[in-house]
Structures are given as structure tokens and as C-alpha cells.
């Protein structure tokens, strides 16, 4: 499926460790609605695309926080490098399958290499070329990379610019995308600074 690349269990365990550090930092802050304490309130996920069965168990829970003050009890979802918002597939799979879809000559070859249906990959490629290009993380990342990454080759052009090694580039890109994974923690990128 996706394991043709150099992603091993250590890669996915590293993503879990980054998310754990992010949620620990976020739990130290009070609720943004009532200043109450935040407690862990993880919820289940059924992610697709994990190439390694051992890593799948660690991806079945989305780290989340819940206000402990009676009457508020609002959720606060810190950013995540494991998940890209509400997408069913794991973030690393979305990034790499999109890159494969752009670099392979046929859709059938991309489907064989990733195990992701062609329709899903086309939707992801449209996201990279559409809504993603207007997002704050892309605008900021484009400003930092001179010359700017080629928009028609996203996410490949970003991966090539972030690091020479594929797993390192994917982690860096997922960290840049992390603020897009939540709406309940404004300025979620501040939690990443201490976690990476």
C-alpha cells in the first residue's frame, strides 16, 4: 500500500509523540471561554491509510481537551500532525498520496502505490490547488521559502523545499498544516513551538 516509502513505525510513533506534547502544552492553558481548567477528553477516530498495523492503535484516539468548569464543558481541540482536520485518512497519507498522484503518469499507478481510491486523490489534489493556497499556513510558508514553491506542483514542491529526506519533509509539512486541523484553538501554531 503506502509502505513502499521509507516510513516505518518509528515515523508514526514520532507523530504520536508530537501530538502528545502539543496536547500537554494546550492543557496548561485555561479554557478560552470561561478560564476554567482543561482536562483530557480524547475521542475515537477510525483513520484510513495506515500502512503499519502496529501504529494503527495509536491513531484510534484524537487528543482533545474539555473544560472542567460546570456549565461550560466546551471542547478545545489542539492542532494535530497526525490528522488533517476531519479527513478520514491519516495526514501523512494525504500528503504522500497527493504527491504520488502528481508525479506518477497514470491514476492506476498512483492507486496501486498508495491504496487510496482515484476519486479521493483527485479531491485532495483539488484541495492543494484551491482552498489550501488561500490558507494562512500556505501564505506564511510561501513567504518564508524564496523563491515560492510552484503552486501547480503542490504538495511536491513544498516537500522538495522543506527537507531532502522524505520523512523529515512530511513531518515539517504536517507541522505547518497543523493549525488547519482545528478551529477551537486560535493561534494553534504556538503549541507546536515547544513540541517539535
- pLDDT per residue over 121-156, tens digit each? 889 989 999 999 999 889 988 999 988 899 999 999
Decide: 187 and 26 in contact? Cβ < 8 Å: no
Residue 192 lies in a domain: no
Helices 107-114 and 91-103: crossing angle, nearest 10°?
Answer: 150
The chain-wide mean pLDDT, for the chain, equals 84
pTM: 0.86
Based on the structure, what is the number of domains in the chain? 1
Residue 107 lies in a domain: yes
Hey, what's the cell of 13? 510513533
What is the band of 106 on the pLDDT scale with cuts at 50, 70, 90?
A: confident
Decide: 101 and 125 in contact? Cβ < 8 Å: yes
**Structural domain containing residue 98:** 9-182
Residue 196 lies in a domain: no
User: Does position 3 have pLDDT exceeding 50, yes or no?
Assistant: no
Residue 167 lies in a domain: yes
Q: Which residues are CB-neighbours of 125 under 8 A, at least 6 positions away?
A: 98, 101, 102
Q: What pLDDT was estimated at residue 12?
A: 87
CA distance 89 to 105: 23
Find where cell 473544560 sits: 67
Hey, what's the cell of 86? 476531519
Residue 160 lies in a domain: yes
CA distances from 104 to 107, 108, 175 (A): 7, 9, 26
The three-class DSSP label of residue 189 is helix
Residue 189 lies in a domain: no
Residue 21 lies in a domain: yes
Decide: 182 and 87 in contact? Cβ < 8 Å: no
Sign of the dihedral defined by the CA atoms of residues 101, 106, 108, 113, in that order:
negative
- pLDDT per residue over 32-70, tens digit each? 889 999 999 998 888 887 765 556 677 888 999 999 999
Amino acid at each position: 500500500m503506502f509502505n513502499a516509502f521509507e516510513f516505518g513505525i518509528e515515523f508514526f510513533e514520532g507523530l504520536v509523540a508530537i501530538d502528545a506534547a502539543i496536547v500537554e502544552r494546550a492543557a496548561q492553558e485555561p479554557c478560552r471561554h470561561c478560564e476554567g481548567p482543561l482536562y483530557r477528553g480524547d475521542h475515537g477516530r477510525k483513520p484510513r491509510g495506515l500502512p503499519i498495523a502496529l501504529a494503527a492503535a495509536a491513531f484510534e484516539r484524537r487528543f482533545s481537551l474539555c473544560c472542567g468548569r460546570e456549565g461550560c464543558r466546551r471542547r478545545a481541540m489542539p492542532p494535530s500532525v497526525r490528522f488533517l482536520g476531519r479527513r478520514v485518512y491519516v495526514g501523512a497519507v494525504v500528503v504522500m498520496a497527493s504527491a504520488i498522484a502528481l508525479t506518477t503518469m497514470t491514476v492506476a499507478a498512483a492507486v496501486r502505490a498508495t491504496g487510496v481510491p482515484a476519486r479521493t486523490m483527485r479531491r485532495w489534489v483539488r484541495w492543494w490547488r484551491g482552498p489550501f493556497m488561500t490558507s494562512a499556513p500556505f501564505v506564511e510558508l510561501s513567504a518564508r521559502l524564496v523563491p515560492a514553491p510552484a503552486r501547480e506542483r503542490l504538495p511536491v514542491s513544498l516537500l522538495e523545499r522543506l527537507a531532502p529526506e522524505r520523512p523529515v519533509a512530511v513531518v515539517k509539512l504536517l507541522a505547518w498544516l497543523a493549525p488547519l486541523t482545528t478551529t477551537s484553538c486560535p493561534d494553534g501554531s504556538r503549541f507546536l513551538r515547544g513540541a517539535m
